[in-house]
Chains A and B, each alone.
Chain A
Amino acid sequence: MTVWRKLLRHRLGAVGLAMLAVAVLVAIFAAVIAPYDPYENVRVSIDDIYQSPSPQHLLGTDDAGKDVFSGLVYGARVSLLVGFAGAFISLIVGGVIGLVAGFKGGRLGNGLMRFTDFFLVIPELALQIVIVAIIGQSLRNIILVIGLLGWTTSARLVRAQTLSVRARKFVERARAVGASDLYILRRHIFPQVVPLMLANAVLTISLAILAESTLAFIGLGDPTVISWGQMLNFAFTRGAVSAGAWWALVAPGLAIVWVVLGVTLLGNALEDLLNPRRGRHFLEPEPAMPAEETVGPAAERGAPAVLAVQDLAVEFVVAGARMRAVDGTTFSVRKGEALGLVGESGSGKTTAMLAALRLLPPGGEVVGGSVLLGGQNVFALTADELRDVRWTRMAMVFQGAMNALNPVRTVEDQIVEAISLHDPDLSKSAAQERAAHLLEVMGIDADRGSEYPHQFSGGMRQRAMIALALACDPDVIVADEPTTALDVMIQAQILELLKKLQRELGMALVLITHDLGVVAESCDRVVVMYGGIVAEQGTVEEVYSDPQHPYTKLLMEAFPDMEDPDRPLVSIPGLPPRLDRLPPGCRFAPRCPAAFDRCQVERPPSYVLSPGREASCFLLESRQVVGV
């Protein structure tokens, strides 16, 4: 099985597994390994007591003159038995209660959870002590008590997991198909919950082992069996400290640590594997930037560009493999211009803009090209210079405004923070005034600035995010899918606002979107990206009335036009290229109806068709204009 293999490759997990395996083997073959039988009654003389380690007694002797090493070996049996059996009981009880509570919800579910809460309040060890003291100190009783009192953690975990699986769409679909509760539990919920229960089971075992040793140490162990806790209890209460017999204390203690640590490492590894954490970490140190390159004259044409991206190349390192997400992309935006960056998922449009602000997620790395922001190469800036440039020259409206705002700080506070950061001389009240003004501009009542993001509707959150982007009066605003996931009317409101702001403030706007209609409505120029390269760019009029690249043409034909509902919509056959398997020639060749041999092996350069109008397709080679 693959989990098995992954576990062995997980270093700490493999170590844990090995530690546990050693303990289990020792327990099974105790009779073979132990030099003496600790259950055997032998006469001892006073000299046998607390003998220091010697070849006869590897770990010395205890208060009764018995071999500590043999005690350890036989003690493994008791500790592991209590651990496994106790955990088993906890898991069954907790699992059933958690599953029912999570799946049924409502009164029954709530009631069960309240019941669990009561148990969480009762100090477990104190209760265990009292119950064992009263019902008697037999091994069976100890297992029962540990098992029956340890179920609460499993119950909570299983319930949380069940709740989240139950809310998933495929469960809803099964319900819509007409499946019964039992069927859904068996077929959809149980298989998803079991793996996590496994990781939990491992941790429960370690808790049970600890509980047994603690009870035994306090003197509530089964007096007829030898366990590590029991050995510590005898040593501690019968003079090992004053006799200086460290071996009688340290050996059983380390044995417990050995097993618990092994089990814990194993459990941690299982959890890592079954429930992998999001690998993102936005505060990781940035990889080195490419050496500064000379800026070609091609960047400057007409009005000076506020943002010029030149031959930008970005790679992602995933599991050791390098994948090129953006490959030699060149485009620019001028002051007062709205640029649409269009492409399907994976086309590199967002990555290119994140790279331009040096905000690539971990694993992302700029490997070539330059980004000029107001004439300054962003990649050549020091960390301090970069912080000064951010938000004052270029601000970004991130996709998904819900997550892009800090949930525990008020909206106004987050805007004020940006203003004060870049204008430290401004008084607090002046900054607040400006924040309130920006919110009003965005159509949000200034009073509501003191509210938290979750109190806003989706549309309002997006407005607040734009107000935040305006905080430092940037030269360029990048808006990443600003209207996705919003209702149509709200989409229209946001787009109108963006257009109005851009017109009135004269800033440059880069609109990242997959929606050709949005670009047609609100942009001056458009850059069409495909598989990390610019397929075509030009003014919106040019590109929409006379698309040159086969991809652009097909994309236009795939996009529905409400005013022309009779035009049949096409689908582009095949799938967008996978970054780890980029075609050697033209990125679009595998799906291109016009592709010929050369397209499969050679990458077409970007041909300049007229000033500002470029397309990357061999079919246009003869039409390029040289020396503009």
Chain B
Amino acid sequence: MSEGAAVVRPVTEPVVILDDVAVSFARGRRLVDVFRRRPGSVVQAVDGVSLELRPGEVLAIVGESGCGKTTTANLIMGLLRPSRGRVIVDGQDLAGLAESDRRRRRRRMQMVFQDPYESLNPRMTVGEIVAEPLQVHRATATRGESETLVLQALERAGLRPAERFLAVRPVELSGGQRQRVVIASALVLEPQVIIADEPVSMLDVSIRADILNLLASLATKQDIAIVMITHDMSTVAAFSDRVAVMYLGRVVETGPSRQVLTSPRHPYTQALVSVVPVPHPSRRRPPLVLVGETPDPSRIPPGCRFHPRCPVAFARCPQVDPPLFDVGGGQKAACLLVGG
């Protein structure tokens, strides 16, 4: 299906649907494995994740390193093919598309990286950086057209007056300005989805709100779906509509952000929420600190994968792998205490 013939879709229809997707990486079969006739070990990076992403909404994916949030982002981007399940973009299964069509789809998915100091090529000017996606996708016919789009994107990213930034090199910009350049180059192709990977964690506290507000306004005002990958629960509460909490390649709890954060049902979410420092000494509360570290994703525990670290685990937990149980109000949690 060509780009021009896009169907007009109702606002509520999801742009991206992940339907029970799984991705595993082979960790290389070593010589010893060959001699012993056994397969190489397999890392289940993502294992049965279902998500929906709607235009104009900010979805936060929260979890610790190794939980699969980056793999999930790459699945949404179409940079990875799932080994199981379907990735549906605009009602179309990505698996059925030719490579050229996938590439064209990718235009509508843009990414904002964590480190604005590293993600800009120091030898290019801001104008060149923002124009790069246009060039790569041959999206504009003339130089003038390209420059108009670049200026518009810079304006939308809050770099005003845009003309003044065109010839500037990244070294001359502050961290916040650089992140705006990254956002501008994501905006220039009019994306449907922007995936922001820890967009403010490298920035000073005093300017974080600006960037987060900018992203949120892109969602509400321009109907862009935003996926925010983060480990910071307090920004989740303030800047996202829905949240998906991931642990070891699974979504363990999902629902409207406020609701999930004020009444978390999964013990893992409860722990994550409890350890967020509250910026006021009078409201100190005992955090629920989990012992140990997230296990290696090549050795996933049987049953509920959280049970070895779970403070309320009971006899059935090592045996039953709990699905996501509906707890009302759009909130779901994968814990036997909730639905079993």
Chain A in direct contact with chain B (Cβ < 8 angstroms): yes
Known: A520-B279, A562-B237, A565-B258. A572 touches B121 (CB 8 A): no
> In the complex, which residues 282-327 of chain B have their Cβ closer than 8 Å to any Cβ of chain A?
282-284, 287, 289-291, 293-294
Q: Would you give the 0/1 interface string for A121-145, flagging 1 where the beta carbon is closer than 8 Å to chain B?
A: 0000000000000000000000000
Whether B289 contacts A493 by the Cβ 8 Å rule is yes
Chain A residue nearest to B268 (CB atoms) is A489
Q: At the interface, yes or no: B222 with Cβ under 8 Å from chain A?
A: no
> In the complex, which residues 154-197 of chain A have their Cβ closer than 8 Å to any Cβ of chain B?
168-170, 172-180, 183, 187-188, 191-192
Whether B121 contacts A188 by the Cβ 8 Å rule is yes
Whether A496 contacts B289 by the Cβ 8 Å rule is yes
Whether B271 contacts A489 by the Cβ 8 Å rule is yes
Q: How far does the alpha carbon of A168 sit from the alpha carbon of B182 in the complex, in Å?
A: 15
> In the complex, which residues 14-61 of chain B have their Cβ closer than 8 Å to any Cβ of chain A?
none
Least CB distance, B119 to chain A, in whole angstroms = 4
Chain A residue nearest to B210 (CB atoms) is A571
Q: At the interface, yes or no: B115 with Cβ under 8 Å from chain A?
A: yes
Known: A514-B205, A554-B206. A521 touches B278 (CB 8 A): yes
Partner of A560, one of B174, B182, B235, B290: B235
Least CB distance, B47 to chain A, in whole angstroms = 20
> In the complex, which residues 330-354 of chain A have their Cβ closer than 8 Å to any Cβ of chain B?
344-345
Q: At the interface, yes or no: B168 with Cβ under 8 Å from chain A?
A: no
Chain A residue nearest to B116 (CB atoms) is A169
Whether A571 contacts B115 by the Cβ 8 Å rule is no
Whether A541 contacts B133 by the Cβ 8 Å rule is no
Whether A488 contacts B136 by the Cβ 8 Å rule is no
Least CB distance, A183 to chain B, in whole angstroms = 6
Contacts of A420 in B (CB 8 A): none
Least CB distance, A574 to chain B, in whole angstroms = 9
Known: A177-B132, A514-B205, A569-B238. A491 touches B258 (CB 8 A): no
Least CB distance, A171 to chain B, in whole angstroms = 8
Least CB distance, B165 to chain A, in whole angstroms = 15
Contacts of B106 in A (CB 8 A): 178
Whether A569 contacts B275 by the Cβ 8 Å rule is no
Known: A560-B237, A562-B237. A487 touches B231 (CB 8 A): yes
Contacts of B276 in A (CB 8 A): 488, 517, 562
Known: A540-B281, A562-B261. A172 touches B204 (CB 8 A): no
Contacts of A175 in B (CB 8 A): 79
Whether A487 contacts B64 by the Cβ 8 Å rule is yes
Least CB distance, B187 to chain A, in whole angstroms = 12
Q: How far does the alpha carbon of A571 sit from the alpha carbon of B205 in the complex, in Å?
A: 8
Partner of B206, one of A177, A496, A571: A571
Whether B136 contacts A179 by the Cβ 8 Å rule is yes
Count contacts on B: residues with CB < 8 A to the other chain: 63
Q: At the interface, yes or no: A47 with Cβ under 8 Å from chain B?
A: no
Partner of B278, one of A170, A176, A490, A520: A520
Chain A residue nearest to B204 (CB atoms) is A344
Q: At the interface, yes or no: A425 with Cβ under 8 Å from chain B?
A: no
Q: Would you give the 0/1 interface string for B196-222, flagging 1 where the beta carbon is closer than 8 Å to chain A?
A: 000000001111111011000000000
Q: How far does the alpha carbon of A171 sit from the alpha carbon of B182 in the complex, in Å?
A: 13
Contacts of B238 in A (CB 8 A): 560, 565, 567, 569
Whether A569 contacts B212 by the Cβ 8 Å rule is yes
Contacts of A191 in B (CB 8 A): 123
Q: At the interface, yes or no: A563 with Cβ under 8 Å from chain B?
A: yes
Whether B272 contacts A489 by the Cβ 8 Å rule is yes
Partner of B209, one of A177, A520, A571: A571
Known: A493-B289, A560-B237. A169 touches B118 (CB 8 A): yes
Q: At the interface, yes or no: A576 with Cβ under 8 Å from chain B?
A: yes
Partner of A178, one of B103, B234, B261, B284: B103
Q: At the interface, yes or no: A559 with Cβ under 8 Å from chain B?
A: yes
Q: At the interface, yes or no: B192 with Cβ under 8 Å from chain A?
A: no
Contacts of B176 in A (CB 8 A): 575
Sort A-B residue pairs by CB-CB distance and give the 5 closest, nearest first: A517-B277, A492-B275, A569-B209, A565-B237, A169-B118
With A176-B79, A177-B111 given, name 8 new contacts (CB 8 A): A170-B119, A174-B121, A178-B133, A487-B65, A491-B275, A495-B277, A565-B261, A575-B174
* Chain B positions near chain A (C-beta within 8 angstroms): 64-65, 77, 79, 103, 106-107, 110-111, 113, 115, 118-121, 123, 132-133, 135-137, 174, 176, 182, 185, 204-210, 212-213, 231-235, 237-238, 257-258, 261, 271-273, 275-284, 287, 289-291, 293-294
